[in-house]
A and B are shown apart, each in its own frame.
Chain A
């Protein structure tokens, strides 16, 4: 057993930490306040080959590994959870399914520009009536000649409206239930495809969360990802990886909040000494640090399993469930430790607390993760 990161992973952490501190942190509060999508972050990340870390170099990626990718999402999320999820949704939910299920032609046409960061990706599964019950898809796809015609709508799509390439799920044969769902690669300027409502959110406010509308949307037949009827399997296996990304985001949020709080506890004086000298507060810090370390082990373990080709469905669910719970708990306590200042926008912990909440909801709620874990162990 070896808990040591490789030299590559160590250097990735060092580089991305510096990048996050210098490039991302300075605009984190502003994009939270305005809800502006940080396009410049995407462009800068692309320059450093950060948009396809675990994708092989022959397909435009960095040729790195899953742990290095998780470290990248973690380090970015320490200072800006929005930037963390932009990278995670792009890499895990758009690049990965094309790498795993795409034809050689699809990889050349779509994966290479995505992994190079020339294009941004998104994943569109959720519908107004198909959230946790993802199989209840109402969007339909009908083959007509050389094209599929998509009709329906998607909601809460991360990177929606900003992305160039979307992995979209739709029913090709309703009679088959979830086995009648298929996956498609849809370009942003496909005829009949438009962007609807952009959500005004509690957290990750710089991340674009959009409604997608398909009206007689024409998608070339060759853009079917995998086979007809394989869509549900593609969606679920993609989300297994996505959960590791969200777990890394949650881990980063918790670490970032605790770092800020440790700084504050050492500076802030009450009763003639720094807050860090009060034992009651020390105990809170000790518990938070321990929870973060436990979350980190679960997150890295899930990424390790994925990297090694071992099963990771349960591991990803546990990592996400525990890391998101940790993020919520740690950020809430960090606001508490900042007292009145923590409740203001002068300190970043209130933003981190708002950002943490979504990690318990998207890419499968905490309750879904519990279902996944239970189904694995009660087999």
Chain B
């Protein structure tokens, strides 16, 4: 069985600070990580590899050359092969153009039975690339997967909803997007880190290599317009202790709640 996992290198938003004046992310000096949902996607592929014979896990990412580190980490977790789609013509791609590039990369890699993506990336939160990719490849998709079973050439997935779930069956090939409830990602192995950084373990692909029309990727092929980005106002929590006898405190509380139109 061939499994392809799409991953994205993102800034660790736990470490990101926001420029209070410009309202933009301060990315300088922020460590890069594999997008958390993508790690769950990779873990699921590796779990399948642990359970069945002859499973090959291939990881692909589109990004700048330094995204190689994310692929090394994926190899250190146990992926067999890793490809980095990197080319200046990809720069500025939105989800629409990214899925075009990834689809070309996946066609280049060849046969697949399963494609895993993370639900969404923490730096964009769109949750669009997975579904778009399935459309471009012409295969079924199951999003928000929180449980997965493999039966022969069939997958049975539990698809999480806000207030319930679907159980969905699909034949292979199928694209699945993972949520964090799906599994607990393993740690990269130290041995794997040293192997991952060795020579040509990460294969680099350009737009030409994967046969993608340069006009269909990059900023100019991206219909998304960012009109404005802003930081949601933080709700300041103020704690105040009421004083006086219990009776006075109760009266004071009622008055305050009425003032705030709460009661």
Contact = CB atoms under 8 A, between A and B. Distances in A.
Interface of A: 7-8, 11-12, 14-16, 18-19, 47-50, 53, 57, 61-64, 68, 72
B190 interface: yes
Interface in B175-220: 186-195, 197
Contacts of A50: 190
B73 A11 contact: yes
Contact of B190 (A7, A18, A53): A53
A8 B191 contact: no
Contact of A48 (B73, B190, B197): B190
B65 interface: no
Q: Max chain B CB contacts within 10 Å: which of A7, A11, A19?
A: A11
Q: Contact size class for B?
A: 10 to 19
21 contacts: A7-B69, A7-B197, A8-B193, A11-B76, A11-B193, A12-B190, A12-B193, A14-B31, A15-B73, A15-B187, A19-B187, A47-B187, A48-B187, A48-B188, A49-B189, A49-B192, A53-B190, A57-B194, A62-B191, A64-B190, A68-B190
Give the dominant DSSP class at A's interface.
helix
A207 B112 CA distance: 48
Contact of A63 (B69, B72, B186, B194): B194
A19 B191 CA distance: 15
Nearest to B197: A8
A19 B76 CA distance: 14
A7 B195 CA distance: 12
Interface of B: 31, 69, 72-73, 76, 186-195, 197
B188 A15 contact: yes
Nearest to B192: A49
B210 to A, nearest CB: 26
Contacts of B189: 47-49, 62
Q: Max chain A CB contacts within 10 Å: which of B189, B190, B191?
A: B190
Given A11-B72, A62-B191, A72-B190, 16 more contacts: A7-B72, A11-B73, A11-B188, A14-B31, A15-B73, A15-B76, A16-B190, A48-B188, A49-B189, A49-B190, A50-B190, A61-B191, A62-B193, A62-B194, A63-B191, A68-B190
